[in-house]
Structure formats: C-alpha cells, structure tokens
C-alpha cells in the first residue's frame, strides 16, 4: 500500500510538472507583451526593451521556464502584473475563500446526496423515487450559471432574502458573512448532487436485495437498523470514491459560480487574470487548481483501494 | 469482409423505448426549429428598437423583449443553431483527434500507449473549464475558437474510450485473420477495428455533445466565446444578468431552452446506449 501511494505521489508530481510546462507554453503564446502591460500604453520602445531585458523576456523560452519553475518551487510566485502585489498572499487569500465555499458545499452534497439516494432506493419505483431522479437529473443537465441566475431571481430579486452577489469578511459579522455564502453554495450543491444521489440509490437498491439484508431481517432486526447498519454501510463504499472525485469537480465549478456571485475566490481570480492579461497570476492559479484536482483524484483512488477489500469481504460474508 | 456485418446491431423489431422516443422528439424539435429559425422567427433577431425595450412576454413578443428591444424568442431560435453547432463541431474535433490516438494506444500498447495515455493524463489534470479558459486566454475570443478549445478539452476522454474498446477487440479472431493476411496497420485500425468500435464511440459521443454545449455556453458566459450581438444562449444569459430584477425573462428563456436541449440529448444518448448494448447501462452517469 505504501509503495502504491508513493508511486502515485511521484506520478502526480510528474503530471504537475507537465501541467506547469503546458501552462507556461500556452501563456508565452499570449500576444500581449508583459513589459508593455507593466509600463502602460505610453512607454517608449527603449523603456519596453530595457524592462524586457531586466525581466529576462529575451532569453530562450526554456530558460524562462526553468527560472519561473525554480522561483515557484522556492515559494516565490512572482508579482501580479495588474495589481503590483506579490501573488502568493493574493492566491492564498483567494484559495482560503474558495475552500470555505467548496468545503461547505461538499459536506452538504455528501449529506443531502446520500440522504436522497437512500430515500429514493427505499421508495424504489414509486413517485418519490421518480421525483428525486428528475430533480437531480435537472441538477446536472443544466449549466451552473443558469442555476445561479434562478437562485438570484428567487432569493435576491423576488424574495429579497439574500444579497445578489458579493462577499463580506468574517469580521463584518458571522451572519452577514454566512448570508453571502448561501446563494453560491445552493448553486454548487444543486449542480453536483446527482452523481452522489444516483450512485447511492443504485447501490442501495442492489444491497437491499442481497441475502445478508434478508438475513438481517429474518433475525428480526428493526428496519431502521437493517437499513442504516447493514445496508447503508456497504452501499456507501462506491459513493465515497465518487465524493472524492466531486471535490475535484467543485474546483472547476467555482469558476462560473464565483464569477456570477462576485465571490473573490480562486475561480474568480482565474477569470479576472485572463480578462486583464495578468499572466503570472493566471499561471500560479491554474497550477494550484491542478494540484488540488490531482490530489482529489489521488484520494479517490486511495479510498477505492482501501475500501475495495471490504466490498469483497462484504460479498463473501453474504 | 464487409465491416457492417460485424457491428453489433439492435434487433430490428424491438420497439423504441419511451426514453428514446422522448429524446428524439425533444432533440428533433429543437434541431428543426433551429434549422428553420430564419424563416419562422416572428421578428428580426438583431434589430435594435428603443421603443420596445423590456417588454414582458405578451401576444406579440411571446417571450418578451430584451434591453435593446430585440425579440427574445427570435434570438432564442437563432441561438439554437449556435448551441447545436457548438456541441456537434466540438465533439467532431474530439472524435477526429481522440479516436486515432485511442486506436494507436490500444493497438500498439507498450511505449506508444504509455506516451499517449500519460499525455491524456496531463490534460485531465486540469478541470475542463480551466483548461478551456487557458487555451482561449491567448487569442481574441470567437465562437469557432471556443468550439475548437472545447473539442480539445475532451480529447482525453474520447481517446481513453477508443483505447479500451480497441484493447478488447485486438485479440479477436478477425483481427488475427487480418494480420495473417498481412494487411497494413492502417487498414486494420480503420477498416477492421474502427467499424466495430463505432457503436460504443457514437453513443459516448452523443452524450459528450451535451458536455460540449454546457462547457461552450459557460465559456461564452464568461466572455471567452460568442461576442455581442450574437444570440448564443450563454452570452444571452450573461448579458441579461444586469436586468434580473426588472426583466428576468431575458435570462430565464435561454436557460430553460438549454435545459430542454441538454435533457433531450441525454435521453437520446442514454436510450441509444441501452438499445445498442444493455450491458453498458451501469456505466451511465459517469462523467
């Protein structure tokens, strides 16, 4: 197991190096000249030339890459060309806000998704089951930015309960802070419920028909114990690995949701840096997202490897 | 050996499932409306008229008008073409590049497989929308570039599927027979393996069309796709954001249209998958 984990971590490191090359290669294609961007439109060609030399923009691309990667590894992410601030603190701030958003959404997705899946499985084939299926189907069939707009129309424009967008720090008061989190969270949760609830439902249905559930019932155990202790425990195993993957998917989902709700996290930072051609920030932000995404995938794989023998054990025991 | 005979065929008398019928009806209706849009649109889709701004849905403007007084329904109909074109062309790009990669990797295995699939891993290490943004960041936005970028983003998934189908076919007798006849590699790949891999690939691709439509519209929404005055649905929703409190219909109409299209294509794809190969059912729902 330890060897497997070590191998996977080395592999992730290699993938991230490759991603960093990809990111660097694509951004060096950008037509906008970094020196020109920093100096503004009124700079003379001599000034631009001087700054290019200073920044090393005239060196071969591979030298630029190695220098950038070296700085990156030593924790120096460079300076945002737009905001004239070091990127690292900027990025950490955005990342922490995004992690708050994604973690809250993640917990809700897990709890609500599993709950809906179990309820649908127990009412298999009845109206409630179909209702849950249709609702979660809508969740994935519809783009996040549309759900965001429905949420804004209902909760902000119509009911007036929530602010339409924006962010307030925790220091502004926990209630105000939480209020700004609700709308983006609802949007993210609804968009990602379906995978979890559908998988929980199908594995619950399978498990409920298995001999050991029949055996548990024959022992005279109350239905609640049969469902929660015997069936759900086994049915949850595949769900857990999908949940880990969902955390990675949320990192993609925040791009649109943060942009709509003007939530100053990592996703908005990426869009913002693209719109303003802030290349160093873009490079750093994408690498951080790729790292989180890769580790979420690793966790999914590891959970699968760890839990798999249990699944076999469960089947043999039955 | 004519390849058609080797492809698994659905039994001809099996009736169409309800899922497939609903999918065909919804998708067919949207395709038809989109194709006929220039002739059936009740008003010009791009004529600005300050006297008809922000009209709520009524008898003349069924879905209301937008901030420039343009008819939302007419824009919606024209936008259907853009969404369909986005989905189909992006998927075609993924297929055109991903399928040959998958065939090569699955047929040759060894280092060819290793190199191609590790390359796919790198592309899959970035969330699709971020990869799309990254590719589009380097060029002035245009819808056709967005379609290319979306196609590019989904190459790895198609390549992986093509590879796994190829792996399972490579040891079949008819491939061995073709090798014994000393057929060229390209003949074996494209005339023997590909026709047999096609059903699985087509079903997967039809589901990919919806991913492409959703990603394409999200990129347009973020300003890296269609540009004004285009009536792309993602762009329409983006532009309507400022008027949600006074004219929510401008945003809701394209949103609902997109729901309908995506659900229609999903039903069609899922239905086709079950019809072609019931064993694949359990794979449904995986992204």
Q: Does A275 touch chain B (CB under 8 A)?
A: yes
Pick B130's closest partner by Cβ from A146, A150, A255.
A255
Which residue of chain B is at minimal alpha-carbon distance from A136? B285
* pLDDT tier, B148 (very low <50, low <70, confident <90, very high otherwise): very high
- Which residues is A290 bridged to in the sheet? none
What per-residue confidence (pLDDT) applies to B284? 40
What per-residue confidence (pLDDT) applies to B287? 34
> CB B285 to CB A289 under 8 A?
no
Give the mean pLDDT of B181-199: 86
Pick A256's closest partner by Cβ from B210, B221, B255.
B221
What per-residue confidence (pLDDT) applies to B7? 53
Q: How large a percentage of chain B has pLDDT more than 90?
A: 22
Q: How large a percentage of chain B has pLDDT more than 70?
A: 91
Task: Report the SS3 class of residue B230.
Answer: coil
Give the mean pLDDT of B107-118: 89
Which residue of chain B is at minimal alpha-carbon distance from A274? B137
What per-residue confidence (pLDDT) applies to A174? 80
Decide if pLDDT at B1 tops 70. no
What per-residue confidence (pLDDT) applies to A102? 93
Decide if pLDDT at B177 tops 70. yes
What per-residue confidence (pLDDT) applies to A32? 55
Give the mean pLDDT of B220-247: 86
Decide if pLDDT at B9 tops 60. no
Residues of A in contact with B129 (CB under 8 A): 252, 255-256
Q: Which of residues 72-101 of B touch A (CB under 8 A)?
A: none
Q: Does B259 touch chain A (CB under 8 A)?
A: yes
Whether the CB-CB separation of A279 and A238 falls below 8 Å is answered with no
Q: Does A48 touch chain B (CB under 8 A)?
A: no
What per-residue confidence (pLDDT) applies to A85? 81
* pLDDT tier, B149 (very low <50, low <70, confident <90, very high otherwise): very high
Residues of A in contact with B133 (CB under 8 A): 255, 270-271, 274
Q: How far is B3 from chain A (nearest CA, A)?
A: 36
- Does the interface ipTM go beyond 0.85? no
Mean pLDDT is highest, among A68-82, A112-126, B79-93, B111-125, for B79-93
Q: How far is A220 from chain B (nearest CA, A)?
A: 33
Spatial distance between the Cα atoms of B261 and B13, rounded to a whole number of angstroms: 28
Helix (H), strand (E), coil (C) string for chain A: CHHHHHHHHHHHHHHHHHHHHHHHHHHHCCCCCHHHHHHCCCCCHHHHHHHHHHHCCCCCHHHHHHHHHHHHHCCCCCECCCCCCEHHHHHHHHHHHHHHHHHHHHHHHHHHHHHHHHHHHHCCCCHHHHHHHHHHHHHHHCCHHHHHHHHHHHHHHHCCCCCCCCCCCHHHCHHHHHHHHHHHHHHHHHHHHHHHHHHHHHHHHHHHCCHHHHHHHHCCCCHHHHHHHHHHHHHHHHHHHHHHHHHHHHHHHHHHHHHHCCCCCHHHHHHHHHHCCCHHHHHHHHHHHHHHHHHHHHHHHHHHHHHHHHHHHHHHHC
How many residues can be counted in chain B?
Answer: 287
Q: Which of residues 132-191 of A touch B (CB under 8 A)?
A: 137-138, 141-146, 149-150, 152-153, 156-157, 164
What per-residue confidence (pLDDT) applies to B279? 52
pLDDT tens-digit readout, B35-67: 988 888 888 877 787 787 888 888 788 888 888
> CB A153 to CB B244 under 8 A?
yes
Alpha helices in chain B, H assignment, sequence order: 18-40, 72-108, 110-124, 128-136, 143-153, 155-169, 173-180, 185-187, 194-221, 233-240, 249-276
CB crowding B206-233: b at 16 or more within 10 Å, else e? bbbbbbbbbbbbbbbbbbbbbeeebbbb
Whether the CB-CB separation of A290 and B125 falls below 8 Å is answered with yes
Grouped pLDDT means (10 residues each) for chain A, 318 residues: 81 87 79 63 76 73 83 79 81 92 93 91 84 80 83 82 79 81 90 86 85 85 82 81 82 88 90 83 88 83 70 41
Which residue of chain A is at minimal alpha-carbon distance from B247? A153
Decide if pLDDT at B286 tops 90. no
Lowest mean pLDDT among A112-116, A158-162, B91-95, B121-125: A158-162
Neighbours of B25 (CB within 10 A): 13
* pLDDT tier, B152 (very low <50, low <70, confident <90, very high otherwise): very high
């Amino acid at each position: 197991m330890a060897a497997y984990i070590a191998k996977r971590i080395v592999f992730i490191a290699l993938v991230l190096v490759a991603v960093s090359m990809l990111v660097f290669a694509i951004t060096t294609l950008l037509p906008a000249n970094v020196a020109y961007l920093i100096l503004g439109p009124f700079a003379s060609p001599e000034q631009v030339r001087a700054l290019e030399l200073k920044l090393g923009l005239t060196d071969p691309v591979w030298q630029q890459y190695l220098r950038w990667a070296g700085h990156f590894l030593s924790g120096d992410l460079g300076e945002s060309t737009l905001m004239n601030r070091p990127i690292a603190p900027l990025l950490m701030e955005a990342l922490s806000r995004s992690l708050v958003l994604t973690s809250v959404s993640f917990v809700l997705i897990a709890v609500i998704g599993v709950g809906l899946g179990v309820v649908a499985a127990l009412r298999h084939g009845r109206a409630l089951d179909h209702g849950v299926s249709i609702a979660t189907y809508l969740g994935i069939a519809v783009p996040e930015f549309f759900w965001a707009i429905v949420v804004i129309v209902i909760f902000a424009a119509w009911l007036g309960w929530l602010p339409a967008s924006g962010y307030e720090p925790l220091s502004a008061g926990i209630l105000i802070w939480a209020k700004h989190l609700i709308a983006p969270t609802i949007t993210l949760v609804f968009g990602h419920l379906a995978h979890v609830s559908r998988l929980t439902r199908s594995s619950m249905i399978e498990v409920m028909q298995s001999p050991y559930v029949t055996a548990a019932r024959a022992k005279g155990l109350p239905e609640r114990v049969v469902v929660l202790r015997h069936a759900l425990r086994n049915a949850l195993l595949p769900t857990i690995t999908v949940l880990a993957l969902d955390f990675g998917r949320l990192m993609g989902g925040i791009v649109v949701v943060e942009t709509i709700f003007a939530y100053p996290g990592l996703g908005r930072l990426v869009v913002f840096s693209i719109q303003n051609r802030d290349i160093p920030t873009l490079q750093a932000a994408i690498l951080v997202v790729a790292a989180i995404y890769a580790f979420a995938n690793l966790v999914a794989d590891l959970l699968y490897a760890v839990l798999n023998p249990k699944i076999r054990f469960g089947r043999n025991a039955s | 050996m004519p390849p058609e005979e080797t492809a698994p065929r659905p039994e001809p008398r099996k009736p169409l499932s309800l899922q497939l019928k609903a999918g065909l009806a919804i998708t067919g209706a949207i395709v038809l409306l989109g194709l006929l849009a220039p002739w059936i649109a009740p008003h010009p889709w791009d004529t600005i008229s300050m006297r008809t701004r922000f009209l709520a849905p009524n008898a003349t403007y069924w879905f209301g008008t937008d901030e420039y007084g343009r008819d939302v329904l007419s824009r919606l109909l024209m936008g259907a073409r853009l969404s369909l074109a986005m989905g189909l062309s992006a998927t075609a790009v993924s297929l055109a590049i991903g399928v040959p990669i998958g065939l090569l990797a699955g047929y040759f295995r060894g280092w060819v497989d290793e190199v191609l699939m590790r390359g796919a891993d790198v592309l899959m290490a970035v969330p699709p929308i971020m990869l799309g943004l990254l590719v589009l960041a380097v060029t002035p936005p245009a819808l056709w570039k967005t379609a290319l970028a979306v196609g590019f983003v989904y190459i790895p998934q198609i390549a992986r599927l093509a590879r796994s189908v190829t792996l399972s076919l490579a040891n079949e007798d008819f491939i061995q027979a073709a090798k014994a006849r000393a057929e060229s590699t390209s003949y074996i790949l494209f005339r023997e393996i590909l026709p047999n891999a096609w059903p699985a690939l087509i079903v997967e691709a039809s589901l990919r069309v919806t991913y492409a439509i959703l990603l394409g519209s999200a990129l347009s929404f973020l300003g890296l796709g269609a540009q004004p005055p285009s009536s792309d649905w993602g762009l329409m929703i983006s532009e309507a954001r400022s008027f949600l409190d006074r004219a929510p219909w401008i945003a809701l109409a394209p949103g609902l249209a997109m729901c309908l299209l995506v659900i229609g294509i999903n039903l069609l794809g899922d239905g086709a998958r079950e019809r072609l190969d019931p064993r694949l059912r359990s794979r449904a729902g995986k992204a």
